[in-house]
């Protein structure tokens, strides 16, 4: 069993993915000794502030527009419980288990830095739930992305106090019943803890990390699907020549061109120099420029999330010096603007990968566009057979949906909390749109691969049945043909499409 030690500073993408998609017991998450000491020191500082009767936001005051309401020592625990139960107002479908596990892990890591004032007992309960598979039911919608992801995180926190609902052993239970069946006890929240649990960018970070990891694999698969289409269309490698890309040396463009050359190495389906046909259409010729630019968006999101993953994003934060002086400082690290912008950027990039893929599908199915290399709609006896005609329709429909979803959420804001929280990020809205566009792109790439494999089989008699595909397209073509036959005449297409989508999803799942 792998042990992941949280210290608030060194959590990695790989660890989050392993915990998110793993089952309880495959790895164990614990706090480092240094983190334990920091957490206890911050919790002691909160107690000191209470003993001194000092005014501190969220500790001895209300929240948001109630920031000027002073709370007595006797009401502190009620205040923290109230913020959790009153904020649990999310709606929509619940997040899947992998996302919930990522949320739990990232939130625990944030609190492990020791600036939030949570007690070790409360933080340990989060880890116990994670390790034993008590998964809070967290609705997807309700966060404005500032003051963090309040509504969804409140649903997460409810389970820790025996409220809300949770999944345990594939059964949906009340929070208290889930804890009891797992042999755990709920906590009574002390000063600052309710706020520490609900205030921060954890939900958008968790969803964004998983979607960025998936987007990276979608971009890799887009290269492969583009190359299989190029082979089916008798395209040329000349536009991928490294000399071209060194004269416009955007790193991801250069990397993409190199990747395409590697994928198509040893292919006998590509076109040698032909003075009557010296260049391909943009959807083939400009793959490095388009796919490379989309990879830039993936790289930016990955860079940003690596920072966010080990950041402290709640408010207020508790600072102490070596002399024991304590200062509570209110700030805005909960604001999701950096993430919202990155997710909108990545959403646009994935929409573009879908757009260029759909245009390659059009070229595969349109006999005039592919210069009669392939028959109309990839079928013999056109007219009697519609072939792959409507496959392109579906891809076009998904692209149109993606174009709507690509409108940035981050340019919108609605003031909340009586205009105290007067600018918000809409970061969760941005990342949920990203997730849907990624789902659509997976389907579009599956449709392209479905069409391209059909095109390859039409080309084999033209060039020789034994001719080789590229080193990087050979395996996926044969994987498709193990599950999906050549479509000789019109048949029920949905099952075949689902089989190719299964291949795609297996390749793009973060791991």
Of these residues, 57, 282, 300, 492, which one is catalytic?
57
Residue 95, pLDDT above cutoff 90: yes
Q: What pLDDT score was predicted for residue 146?
A: 93
Identify whether 63 is part of a domain: yes
Q: Which CA distances in Å does 172 have to 23, 87, 157, 191, 472? A: 17, 21, 16, 30, 44
Based on the domain organization, do 252 and 142 belong to the same domain? no
For residues 5-26, give the mean pLDDT: 94
- The residue out of 157, 175, 200 marking a domain boundary is 200
The residues, any chain, with a CB within 8 Å of residue 500's CB and separated by 6 or more, are: 446, 447, 449, 450, 480, 483, 484
Residue 69, pLDDT above cutoff 80: no
Q: What pLDDT score was predicted for residue 490?
A: 97
Based on the domain organization, do 288 and 378 belong to the same domain? yes
Residue 70, pLDDT above cutoff 90: no
Identify whether 224 is part of a domain: yes
Average pLDDT for the chain: 95
Q: What is the CATH number of the domain that holds 12?
A: 1.10.275.10
User: 83: domain range?
Assistant: 2-200
Q: What pLDDT score was predicted for residue 171?
A: 98
- Helices (H), ranges, 53-166: 76-87, 97-111, 120-132, 150-160
Identify whether 325 is part of a domain: no
Identify whether 332 is part of a domain: no
Tens-place pLDDT, residues 435-450: 999 999 999 999 999 9
Tens-place pLDDT, residues 263-287: 999 999 999 989 989 999 999 999 9
Based on the domain organization, do 240 and 181 belong to the same domain? no
Based on the domain organization, do 489 and 400 belong to the same domain? yes
Identify whether 327 is part of a domain: no
Based on the domain organization, do 302 and 441 belong to the same domain? yes
Q: What is the CATH number of the domain that holds 503?
A: 1.20.200.10
Based on the domain organization, do 184 and 224 belong to the same domain? no
Q: What pLDDT score was predicted for residue 32?
A: 97
- The residue out of 153, 170, 200 marking a domain boundary is 200
| Measured CA angle at 32 (ends 81, 26), to 5 deg | 85
Residue 198, pLDDT above cutoff 90: yes
For residues 221-244, give the mean pLDDT: 97
Global pTM value? 0.96
**Bridge partners for 141 per DSSP:** 91
**Three-class SS of 27-77:** EEEEECHHHHHHHHHHHHHHHHHHHHCCCCCCCCECCHHHCCCECCHHHHH
- The residue out of 167, 200, 233 marking a domain boundary is 200
For residues 78-83, give the mean pLDDT: 91
Residue 40 neighbours by CB distance under 10 Å: 15
Q: What pLDDT score was predicted for residue 172?
A: 98
Classify burial at 416, counting beta carbons within 10 Å of its beta carbon; exposed 0-12, middle 13-18, buried 19 or more.
middle
Based on the domain organization, do 190 and 212 belong to the same domain? no
Q: What is the DSSP string of 260-312?
A: HHHHTTT-SSSB---TT-----HHHHTHHHHHHHHHHHHHHHHHHHHHHTT--
Identify whether 338 is part of a domain: no
For residues 71-100, give the mean pLDDT: 92
Tell me which residue of 408, 399, 278, 296 sits closest to 341, measured CA to CA.
408
Based on the domain organization, do 109 and 187 belong to the same domain? yes
Identify whether 270 is part of a domain: yes
Is 57 assigned a catalytic role? yes
- The total number of structural domains in the chain stands at 2
Tens-place pLDDT, residues 387-407: 999 999 999 999 999 999 999
Residue 202, pLDDT above cutoff 70: yes
For residues 335-347, give the mean pLDDT: 98
Based on the domain organization, do 222 and 188 belong to the same domain? no
Based on the domain organization, do 385 and 432 belong to the same domain? yes
For residues 177-200, give the mean pLDDT: 96
Q: What pLDDT score was predicted for residue 64?
A: 65
Which has more pLDDT, 149 or 464? 149
Based on the domain organization, do 189 and 229 belong to the same domain? no
Based on the domain organization, do 165 and 237 belong to the same domain? no
Identify whether 455 is part of a domain: yes
Q: What pLDDT score was predicted for residue 63?
A: 65
């Amino acid at each position: 069993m792998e042990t992941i030690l949280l210290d608030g500073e060194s959590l990695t993408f790989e660890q989050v993915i392993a915990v998110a998609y793993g089952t309880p017991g495959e790895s164990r998450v614990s706090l480092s000794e240094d983190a334990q000491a920091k957490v206890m020191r911050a919790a002691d500082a909160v107690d000191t502030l209470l003993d001194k009767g000092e005014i501190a936001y969220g500790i001895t005051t209300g929240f948001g527009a109630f920031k000027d309401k002073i709370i007595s020592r006797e009401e502190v625990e009620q205040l923290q419980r109230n913020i959790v139960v009153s904020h649990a107002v999310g709606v929509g479908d619940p997040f899947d288990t992998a996302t919930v596990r990522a949320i739990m892990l990232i939130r625990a890591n944030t609190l492990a830095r020791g600036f939030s004032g949570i007690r070790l007992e409360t933080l340990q309960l989060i880890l116990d739930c994670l390790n034993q598979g008590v998964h809070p039911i967290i609705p997807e919608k309700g966060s404005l992305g500032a003051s963090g992801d309040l509504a969804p995180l409140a649903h997460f926190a409810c389970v820790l106090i025996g409220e809300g609902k949770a999944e345990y052993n594939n059964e949906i239970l009340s929070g208290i019943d889930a804890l009891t069946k797992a042999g755990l006890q709920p906590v009574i929240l002390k000063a600052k803890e309710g706020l520490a649990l609900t205030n921060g960018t954890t939900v958008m970070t968790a969803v964004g990390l998983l979607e960025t990891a998936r987007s990276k694999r979608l971009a890799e698969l887009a290269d492969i699907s583009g190359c299989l289409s190029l082979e089916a269309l008798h395209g040329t490698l000349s536009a991928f020549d490294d000399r071209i890309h060194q004269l416009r040396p955007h790193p991801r463009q250069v990397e993409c061109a190199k990747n395409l050359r590697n994928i198509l190495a040893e292919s006998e389906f590509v076109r040698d120099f032909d003075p009557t046909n010296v260049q391909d259409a943009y959807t083939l010729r400009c793959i490095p420029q388009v796919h490379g630019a989309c990879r830039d968006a993936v790289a930016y999101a990955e860079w940003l999330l690596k920072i966010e993953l080990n950041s402290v994003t709640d408010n207020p934060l508790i600072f102490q010096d070596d002399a024991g002086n304590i200062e509570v400082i209110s700030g805005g690290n909960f604001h999701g603007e950096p993430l919202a912008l990155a997710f909108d950027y990545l959403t646009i990039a994935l929409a573009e990968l879908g757009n260029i893929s759909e245009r390659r599908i059009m070229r595969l199915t349109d006999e005039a566009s592919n210069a009669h290399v392939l028959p109309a709609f990839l079928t013999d006896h056109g007219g009697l057979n519609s072939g792959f005609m409507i496959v392109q329709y579906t891809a076009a429909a998904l692209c149109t949906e993606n174009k709507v979803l690509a409108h940035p959420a981050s340019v919108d804001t609605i003031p909340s909390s009586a205009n105290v929280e007067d600018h918000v990020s809409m970061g969760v809205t941005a990342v949920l749109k990203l997730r849907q566009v990624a789902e659509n792109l997976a389907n579009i790439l599956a449709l392209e691969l479905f069409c391209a494999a059909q095109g390859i089989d039409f080309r084999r008699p033209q060039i020789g049945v034994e001719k080789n595909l590229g080193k990087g397209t050979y395996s996926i073509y044969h994987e498709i043909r193990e599950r999906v036959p050549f479509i000789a005449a019109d048949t029920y297409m949905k099952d075949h499409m689902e089989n190719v989508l299964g291949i795609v999803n297996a390749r793009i799942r973060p791991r």
